[in-house]
Amino acid sequence: MKKMLLLLLLPVVLMAQKKEAVYKKLAALTCECSTNKGAEKLSETDLGVCIFEALNMLNDKEKKVIGYNPDKKSANIEKIAENVGVEMALICPKVFSNILSEDQEVVEEVVEEEIIESSHKGTFEAMTAVEFNTITITDETNTKREFIWLFSFEGDALLIKGKIVKGDKIEVFYREQEFFDPKTKAYKIYNEITEVKLL
């Protein structure tokens, strides 16, 4: 019975090994093509072109093993590309890590518009809670400044544990954020706390 089971499983195992070998070959050819493009960052389109070039270098037997039909290119290209990607991550990780998706390109452009952070030193006056916690400090020109606490930040434990009390000298790092104020029904600029230091 065991021998019969082994005989039945043998073709499945051999087929899986053949597929893996073809995907490794495809990945090596795609890595070579990608490296030859010489671009620091590869787009998904560049990678797709390289995969198709690599597929054209396979013989008919190898194409059959992975189920690729040149006449129906789009039929299972996604699955082939996934398997090639897995092998590329092992064969040429540097090339693989330089592949940019179109979404990433957009995200990188957005990230370039960084929010500038500023800081103010002054004397801690109070912390009030209305919609959000707001801390008030008075600077050396005797001007009161308010900062809102929206997210966790470095030094927030000082406020949580009550280690900053009225009269303490502190430095507040913040970024300007525009939020809608329901009272005035208009957008208003708030100073969002990013860090607090006890001086």
Each residue's pLDDT tens digit, 83-136: 888 888 788 877 767 765 544 444 445 444 455 688 999 999 999 987 788 999
Predicted pLDDT of residue 4:
57
**DSSP-based three-state secondary structure for 183:** coil
Each residue's pLDDT tens digit, 3-42: 555 445 545 446 667 788 888 888 888 888 888 876 567 7
Quick one: which of 84, 54, 79 has its CA closest to 67? 79
pTM above 0.85, yes or no: no
Q: Which residue has the higher pLDDT, 102 or 146?
A: 146
Predicted pLDDT of residue 147:
94
Contacts of 33 (CB under 8 A, 6+ apart): 49, 50, 53, 54
Q: How many CB atoms within 10 Å of residue 110?
A: 8
Token output for 91: 């064969």
Average pLDDT, the chain: 80
Predicted pLDDT of residue 11:
53
**182 DSSP 8-state letter:** T
Q: Which residue type occupies 11?
A: P
Token output for 78: 């996604």
**Distance from C-alpha of 85 to C-alpha of 78, rounded to nearest angstrom:** 10
Residue 6 pairs with which residues in a beta bridge?
Answer: none
Q: Which residue type occupies 77?
A: I
**DSSP-based three-state secondary structure for 62:** helix
Q: How many CB atoms within 10 Å of residue 192?
A: 20
Instruction: Tell me: pLDDT of 173 over 70.
Output: yes
Q: Which residue has the higher pLDDT, 52 or 70?
A: 52
